[in-house]
Structure 1
């Protein structure tokens, strides 16, 4: 039981360390990250759709 508490304590310390060194992105960086994320999601979705379409067409 104490090992679980030690792990949780260490995890909390790690989170605090990450939060202390992180910083909020500026507006331009946030916009760029959002655009890149959306672009990647669209590309992955399109790729998956094409694969699904090929599988359906080849089984007919």
Structure 2
């Protein structure tokens, strides 16, 4: 029997990728179907996040000062 290994990003990992949304804003986007669903609190599947990032890279909010 083989086990599937799934990699994920934490909320801090999203920040390092340049996704500078507040957590509440990400939850709102997720509920509207505009951001991948969390698999655990504050953890997202890496492949889904990277696909989303490729599509939405030009819509990201600027990095806060």
The TM-score normalised by the length of structure 1 is 0.27
Point out which structure has higher relative CO (alpha carbons under 8 A, 6+ apart). 2
- Larger proportion of strand: 2
The higher radius of gyration belongs to 1
The TM-score normalised by the length of structure 2 is 0.26
